[in-house]
Amino acid sequence: MRRIDIFDTTLRDGEQSAGINLNTVEKLEIARQLEKLGVAVIEAGFPASSPGDFEAVQRIANTVKNSTVTGLARAMKKDIDISWEALRGGEQPHIHVFLATSPIHMEYKLKKTPDEVVDIAVDAVKYAKQFFPLVQWSAEDAFRSEPEFLVRIINKVIAAGATTINIPDTVGYATPQEYGALFKYLKENVTGVEKVKLSAHCHDDLGMAVANSIAAVENGADQVECTINGIGERAGNASLEEIAVAMHIRKDFYNMDTGINLQEIKRSSQLVSRLTGVVIQPNKAVVGKNAFAHESGIHQDGMLKNRQTYEIITPELIGETDMPLALGKHSGRHAFKDRAVSMGFELSDKQLNEAFDDFKKLADRKKEITEDDLFVLFTGQQLSDTDTPIYELHNVQVQYGTSNIPTATVTATVPSGETVTVATTGSGSVESIFNALELVIKGEVLILDYRVTSIGKGRDALGEAVVNLSYNGLELKGRDVAQDVLEASAKAYLNAINRQLVRERLRTQELIK
């Protein structure tokens, strides 16, 4: 079987999409999961874009051992130098340099002639090659570039030392036939193409990113770039889980292997959804909550007689197991620890003890502790060394009646260390809480989006709230989980503010250093 490398860009192209903002600890957690998932390359960020991105890429490069870690850089010395500092500790330092090659990008964005673009690309690759053994070069907007110009510039960057050539459909305009044909053309016309990896990078503006990626590998691509849950710029990137599962289920047809550990797909998808706050659409292929649900009577009847009548993928394949409920109110610390390990969490004794205390509190209030609940508890602890919050919620109380004006009373610690209590009204319970929190933080806040979802099933399921807000003109996202949705909403609101303030604090500390 032919090996196709999976290049995951969840932490770069995915993180770059509207409303997503991960901190370093969260990025590291996702990178560790991607390593378990077996991706060949992790694009951990864009080191020159911000000190936060630099720090995250550096920590990931120094931690991950079984996947190659890369970072994005513009075709300029400054970006390559910064990337080297971030990536030099990695097992196999790899850099991803890009430069646009389409007529529209060269003329209007870069304001450069094609000859100048060739020179800049070659100089950047040569410069990167002095540090990095692995240099990937991307022709941004390759699909809308002149094929002859692509051959010309790719010939030159290969001669300059590039080891991977990426051909992005940056704006998601290609059809599978056309994108496949472009790879075939490059395979036939580029000098030295056999010495490099050819890579596909597709966006989903016309809903064809996965089909285009597969058309590319059928026509000679050795690597596909994709993201967990298909998150990414605008309509997103090609979805990793769809590509990996399609290749597996139809290996009779494709005869290709991605090296992905399919059993880790569900967990990767859940983790990315939880940390980014991007909800997975229920009917999403492979990882949507209805992907294995059979609703109509005829289908259910068929399933009962023989599952293969309507099921081509089993939930077990992607690690979705209905584990028997082994934990409850009377479960001991030992069983709890075993479950954490079997679910793939590596927690310190302190984190395990804290998770166990939370578990006991939850077990007092909830009939059944589900796999989803445990996932939330363990993930929460795994990320608990995320910087201490600046505003901390102690209590929220709401008075609501169908014919009363809702009133919220909130008690919280503020940055000076003082504990304050405020009360105010709103047209609904949530609005009254948000109004009270606005008095606590004394800033100008606009709510841009607000969502509450249940985690798992049942009327006592945990509630997760995601709040998108604008705080003093900055767009922020916060999320949190609690048994009560009002408490989850209050915490998610403060989480958005805290994340921004922690970021500012780190930046100030950086400047003082």
Task: Catalog residues that contact ligand KIV under the rule CB under 6 A.
Answer: 13, 72, 98, 138, 140, 166, 168, 170, 201, 203
Which one of Zn ion, ligand KIV, none is in contact with 26 (Cβ closer than 5 to 8 A by kind)?
A: none
d(CA 39, CA 246) in angstroms, rounded, equals 16
Write the burial class of residue 120 (CB in 10 Å: 0-12 exposed, 13-18 middle, 19+ buried).
middle
d(CA 51, CA 45) in angstroms, rounded, equals 11
**Nearer to ligand KIV among residue 138 and residue 269 (C-beta):** 138
CB of 200 to Zn ion, least distance (A): 11
**Nearer to ligand KIV among residue 176 and residue 406 (C-beta):** 176
**Nearer to ligand KIV among residue 83 and residue 170 (C-beta):** 170
Q: Which two tokens stand for residue 512?
A: 């003082």
**Nearer to ligand KIV among residue 107 and residue 510 (C-beta):** 107
Q: Is 141 in the site for Zn ion (CB under 5 A)?
A: no
Residue nearest to Zn ion (CB): 13
Residue 23's closest CA among 513, 509, 512, 496? 496
**Nearer to ligand KIV among residue 59 and residue 203 (C-beta):** 203
Taking CB under 5 A as the binding criterion, the range among 8-16, 20-28, 407-415, 458-466 that sits at the site for Zn ion is 8-16
CB of 141 to ligand KIV, least distance (A): 6
Which one of ligand KIV, Zn ion, none is in contact with 487 (Cβ closer than 5 to 8 A by kind)?
A: none
DSSP 313: S
Q: Tokens 């014919």, residue?
A: 403
**Nearer to ligand KIV among residue 98 and residue 493 (C-beta):** 98
d(CA 31, CA 263) in angstroms, rounded, equals 17
Taking CB under 5 A as the binding criterion, the range among 9-17, 47-55, 65-73, 496-504 that sits at the site for Zn ion is 9-17
CB of 96 to ligand KIV, least distance (A): 7
d(CA 265, CA 6) in angstroms, rounded, equals 13
Cα angle value 171/172/175 (rounded, 5°): 140
Residue 55's closest CA among 86, 82, 76? 86
Q: Is 320 in the site for Zn ion (CB under 5 A)?
A: no
Cα angle value 52/58/64 (rounded, 5°): 125
Which one of ligand KIV, Zn ion, none is in contact with 140 (Cβ closer than 5 to 8 A by kind)?
A: ligand KIV
CA dihedral in degrees (20, 21, 27, 29; nearest 10)? -70
The span from the first CA to the last CA of the chain, in angstroms, equals: 52
CB of 166 to ligand KIV, least distance (A): 6
Which one of ligand KIV, Zn ion, none is in contact with 172 (Cβ closer than 5 to 8 A by kind)?
A: none
Q: Is 13 in the site for Zn ion (CB under 5 A)?
A: yes
CB of 101 to ligand KIV, least distance (A): 10
Taking CB under 5 A as the binding criterion, the range among 12-20, 62-70, 450-458, 476-484 that sits at the site for Zn ion is 12-20
Which one of ligand KIV, Zn ion, none is in contact with 219 (Cβ closer than 5 to 8 A by kind)?
A: none
* Antiparallel, parallel or unpaired: β 474-482 and 462-471: antiparallel
Helix residue ranges, H only, 88-175: 103-104, 114-129, 147-159
**Nearer to ligand KIV among residue 35 and residue 233 (C-beta):** 233
**Nearer to Zn ion among residue 169 and residue 222 (C-beta):** 169
CB of 124 to ligand KIV, least distance (A): 13
**Nearer to Zn ion among residue 13 and residue 480 (C-beta):** 13
CB of 93 to ligand KIV, least distance (A): 19
Q: Which two tokens stand for residue 26?
A: 């969260």
Which one of Zn ion, ligand KIV, none is in contact with 345 (Cβ closer than 5 to 8 A by kind)?
A: none
Q: Tokens 């139809």, residue?
A: 250
Number of residues written out for the chain:
513
CB of 116 to ligand KIV, least distance (A): 19
Residue 29's closest CA among 17, 49, 41, 11? 11
Helices 485-512, 51-63: crossing angle, 10 deg rounding: 100
d(CA 374, CA 275) in angstroms, rounded, equals 15
**Nearer to ligand KIV among residue 11 and residue 441 (C-beta):** 11
CB of 105 to ligand KIV, least distance (A): 10
Which one of Zn ion, ligand KIV, none is in contact with 138 (Cβ closer than 5 to 8 A by kind)?
A: ligand KIV
Which one of Zn ion, ligand KIV, none is in contact with 145 (Cβ closer than 5 to 8 A by kind)?
A: none
d(CA 230, CA 240) in angstroms, rounded, equals 7
- Residues touching Zn ion, count (CB under 5 A): 1
Q: Tokens 């051959």, residue?
A: 151
d(CA 230, CA 411) in angstroms, rounded, equals 39
**Nearer to Zn ion among residue 85 and residue 205 (C-beta):** 205
Q: Which two tokens stand for residue 427?
A: 């047209």
CB of 513 to Zn ion, least distance (A): 33
CB of 138 to ligand KIV, least distance (A): 4
Cα 54 to chain centroid, rounded: 17
Segments of 229-278 assigned E as strands = 256-257
In the complex, the residues that contact Zn ion under the rule CB under 5 A are 13
